[in-house]
């Protein structure tokens, strides 16, 4: 009997706003929901880590002299707001899900528990993870890599607005080279913008492969979730 595929999908908050600068984009929610339902129907277990950039971006507080720790707490709360919105949207579309925050919010957002999250995955529910790691000074990339290892995910999928990892920023240098495959050492040594270095080293040390891809490409989210051999984006591994 083949092993059930389990993936962790990291979605940036900015992506939720679609073409808008802030807030929520209905088409994006519909697209994500349809992809998750289709993947779930193939008995794939899916956990999501959400960013909060559609509600709040750290640079917005620099002019107010708000310190980094306080700014990070505001960012964590933004991810929770996104989690509540997505959880409710999925439920309204008959997609069972469980929402967990790194810290409990009243009686309507549960505190994260590895055991409860794994039980929800086995019960065929989409697991939504918000609130970062519960501590400031860590990115949502770090949250995604830690949760992926805790939950024994087969791969971490990072949905971005570019179609993979490049040698340089392709928006600045049209000659930038796109990598189809990278080792962690290459990504770290060349300081490629896959994710922050702490997350990269953590994934390397725990042998967790990472696929970076463009979330806006047609059916890219569904394809990366269901097909472990897809050639979409860039695969980073040992």
The chain-wide mean pLDDT, for the chain, equals 92
pLDDT of residue 59: 66
The residue behind tokens 């009243």 is 106
Domains of the chain: 6-237 (3.40.1160.10)
Q: Name the token pair of 73.
A: 């707490």
pTM to 2 decimal places:
0.94
Catalogue the E-assigned strands of the chain: 6-11, 45-50, 97-101, 110-111, 126-130, 155-160, 165-166, 178-179, 181-183, 210-214, 234-237
- Summarised one tens digit per residue, pLDDT across range 135-151 is 999 999 999 999 999 99
Separation of alpha carbons 166 and 200, rounded Å: 16
Please name the helix (run of DSSP H) or strand (run of DSSP E) that holds residue 146, with its range, or none: helix 140-150
- Summarised one tens digit per residue, pLDDT across range 206-224 is 999 999 999 998 899 999 9
Whether the pLDDT of residue 196 is over 50: the answer is yes
pLDDT of residue 172: 87
pLDDT of residue 1: 45
SS3 204: helix
Residues 6+ apart with CB under 8 A from 105: 80
Judged by phi (left if over 0) then psi (alpha if -120 to 50, else beta), residue 45 lies in beta
Q: Are strands 210-214 and 234-237 parallel, antiparallel or unpaired?
A: antiparallel
Radius of gyration, alpha carbons of the chain: 17
């Amino acid at each position: 009997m083949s092993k059930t595929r389990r993936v962790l999908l990291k979605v940036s908050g900015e992506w939720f706003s679609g073409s808008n600068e802030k807030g929520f984009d209905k088409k994006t929610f519909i697209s994500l929901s349809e992809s998750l339902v289709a993947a779930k129907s193939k008995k794939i277990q899916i956990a999501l880590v959400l960013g909060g950039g559609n509600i709040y971006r750290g640079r917005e507080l620099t002019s107010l002299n708000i310190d980094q720790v306080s700014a990070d707490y505001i960012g964590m709360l933004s991810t929770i707001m996104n989690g509540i919105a997505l959880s409710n949207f999925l439920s309204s579309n008959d997609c069972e899900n469980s929402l967990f925050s790194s810290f409990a919010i009243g009686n309507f957002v549960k505190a994260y528990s590895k055991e409860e999250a794994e039980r929800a995955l086995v019960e065929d529910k989409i697991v939504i993870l918000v609130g970062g790691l519960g501590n400031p000074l860590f990115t949502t990339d770090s949250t995604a890599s830690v949760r992926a290892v805790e939950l024994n995910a087969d791969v971490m999928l990072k949905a971005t607005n570019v179609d993979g990892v490049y040698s340089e920023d392709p928006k600045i240098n049209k000659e930038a080279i796109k990598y189809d495959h990278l080792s962690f050492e290459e990504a770290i040594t060349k300081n490629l913008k896959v994710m922050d270095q702490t997350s990269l080293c953590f994934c390397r040390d725990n042998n967790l492969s990472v696929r970076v891809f463009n979330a806006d490409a047609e059916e890219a989210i569904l394809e990366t979730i269901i097909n472990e051999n897809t050639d979409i984006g860039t695969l980073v591994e040992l």
